């Protein structure tokens, strides 16, 4: 080990100045893509090896670090590449420790929520006069991570572990090992489309989007023609609402399976993706004294479309039976399996739907704004009570300033509505502020 680190020298920085002009080809890219590229060039490398002051070519180093931004495993609020990284002199292995600091503040009216995640599901009906207005702040989502990225002949690999704060609880967020096209570990579901997630100040985002993490095995392969295929086998986690005297939850024993196909064009800035999910959920019918399996399924069409260089469209539409734990608002309760009031002891997988749409406009290399919309619909009216959630609406308008490749500030207005099966409804509003720093 002492031989390996016999010579440790600060070799070079990939970008002498954060504000230097991007190469000409970068000017045709979106703000988010350019900021990733600037963050890559801003990485400061510490060369570690036994070959004196030898350093690798710049393009070889950038190509290796760029693997940090694998689309399937990263979304808008995830950290940038580490500011400092150790690198072997042959540029075949880099290791870095980094993180991201979040500071959010918000003011609610027409009903308050105590968390940085704004859910229409949590809007009180009827409104509570004692909770009409509220001021809050949080450093939730602040996180640290360690990553190792390497290549050896035809093998490319990455080890990644990330943990962070949810309120005041420190918890694991991701931990996986990626070997070429395969991934093993705990990360975002393969059913999700991270690129289609709308940029928001809100920690949650539009209520119609899919979001779930699980232990899984994933396969993702990109073809030179622009096609991308994926599949995953994920550890099941089922949210069940049983009738306690008639049915009860059982331990699930069959993984959730997802498959996806995606086509990208315009140098990867536009894409369309179709994904499907199938899952088997088990419960026990106490009246029949038998275990029963219910098959759930879901489909999502999603993507990103760069209409013109400054204007980008985000979109997604998901529908299925028994996928409530994957969908924003519905994940706040137990809507994967619910009791059938007409057949005591029987649980069924209700139909649900979620849609999102967003428009991002890039005013310059540092400033952009985004309008977002989300809707989550639940169609299980014959299974639940009149006071249960029927649908939620979510609208947002925000403005972001990329102060540097690693320093972001934003302001946002959110308006949301919840409606129950009884017909009663309520709305709530929020103004949110965000400051983040990746290191």
Kindly tell me if the per-residue pLDDT of 55 is higher than 80.
no
Q: Which residues contact 37 (CB under 8 A, 6 or more apart)?
A: 22, 26, 29
CA diameter of the chain: 78
**What pLDDT, in 10s, does the model give residues 120-147?**
999 999 888 888 999 999 998 999 999 9
What's the half-sphere exposure (Cβ side, CA atoms, 13 Å) at 23? 6
Q: What is d(CA 279, CA 295) in angstroms, rounded to the nearest whole number?
A: 6
Domain range for 128 is 7-438
Residue 340's pLDDT is: 84
Residue 140 covered by a domain: yes
Quote the distance between the C-alpha of residue 315 and its chain's center.
Answer: 14
Q: Write phi, then psi, for 9 (nearest 5 degrees).
A: -130, 145
Residue 178, in any domain of the structure:
yes
What is the pLDDT at residue 381?
A: 64
Q: Rounded to whole angstroms, how far apart are CA atoms 222 and 232?
A: 15
Percent of the residues in the chain that have a pLDDT greater than 90, as a whole number: 62
Q: What is the pLDDT of residue 189?
A: 96
For the cut 80, the answer to whether the pLDDT of residue 15 exceeds it is no
Sequence-ordered strand ranges (E) for 7-71: 7-13, 44-49
Tell me if 35 is assigned to some domain.
Answer: yes
Task: Look at residues 431, 427, 412 and name the one whose alpha carbon lies nearest to residue 199.
Answer: 412
Has residue 2 been placed in a domain?
Answer: no
* CATH number of 259's domain: 2.40.160.10
- pLDDT at residue 267, as a whole number: 85
Mean pLDDT (whole number) for 320-324: 95
> Does the reported pTM lie above 0.95?
no
Q: How many domains does the chain have?
A: 1
Residue 51 belongs to a domain: yes
Q: Give first-to-last CA distance, the chain, whole Å.
A: 27
């Amino acid at each position: 080990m002492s031989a390996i680190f016999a010579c440790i020298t600060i070799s070079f920085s990939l970008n002498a100045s954060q504000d230097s002009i991007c190469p000409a080809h970068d000017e045709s890219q979106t703000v988010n893509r350019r900021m990733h590229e600037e963050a890559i060039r801003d990485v400061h490398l510490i060369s570690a090896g036994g070959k004196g002051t030898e350093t690798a070519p710049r393009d070889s180093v950038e190509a290796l670090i760029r693997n940090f931004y694998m689309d399937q495993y990263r979304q808008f609020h995830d950290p940038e590449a580490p500011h400092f990284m150790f690198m072997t002199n042959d540029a075949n292995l880099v290791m870095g420790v980094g993180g991201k600091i979040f500071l959010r503040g918000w003011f609610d009216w027409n009903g308050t929520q105590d968390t940085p995640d704004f859910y229409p599901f949590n809007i009180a009906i009827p409104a509570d006069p004692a909770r009409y207005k509220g001021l809050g702040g949080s450093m939730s989502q602040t996180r640290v991570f360690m990553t190792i990225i390497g290549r050896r002949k035809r093998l490319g690999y990455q080890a990644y572990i990330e943990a962070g704060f949810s309120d005041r609880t420190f918890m694991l967020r991701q931990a996986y090992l990626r070997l070429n096209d395969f991934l093993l570990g705990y990360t975002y579901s393969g059913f999700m489309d991270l690129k289609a997630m709308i940029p928001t100040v809100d920690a949650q985002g539009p209520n119609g989007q899919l979001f779930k993490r699980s232990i899984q095995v994933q396969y993702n392969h990109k073809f030179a023609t622009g096609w991308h295929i994926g599949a995953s086998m994920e550890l099941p986690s089922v949210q069940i609402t049983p009738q306690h005297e008639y049915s009860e939850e059982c331990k699930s024993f069959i993984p959730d399976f997802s498959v996806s196909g995606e086509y990208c064009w315009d140098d990867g800035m536009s894409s369309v993706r179709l994904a499907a999910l199938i899952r088997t959920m088990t419960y026990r019918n106490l009246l029949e004294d038998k275990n029963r399996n219910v098959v759930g399924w879901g489909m999502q069409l999603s993507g990103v479309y760069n209409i013109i260089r400054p204007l980008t469209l985000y979109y997604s539409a998901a529908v299925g039976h028994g996928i409530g734990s994957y969908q924003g608002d519905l994940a706040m309760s137990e809507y994967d399996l619910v009791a059938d009031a007409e057949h005591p002891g029987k649980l069924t997988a209700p139909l649900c739907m979620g849609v999102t749409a967003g428009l991002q406009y890039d005013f310059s290399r540092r400033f952009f704004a985004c309008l977002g919309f989300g809707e989550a619909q639940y169609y299980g009216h014959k299974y639940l009570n009149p006071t249960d959630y029927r649908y939620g609406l979510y609208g947002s308008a925000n403005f972001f300033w990329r102060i540097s490749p690693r320093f972001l500030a934003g302001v946002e207005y959110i308006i949301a509505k919840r409606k129950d099966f009884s017909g009663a409804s309520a709305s709530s509003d929020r103004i949110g502020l965000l400051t983040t720093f990746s290191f």
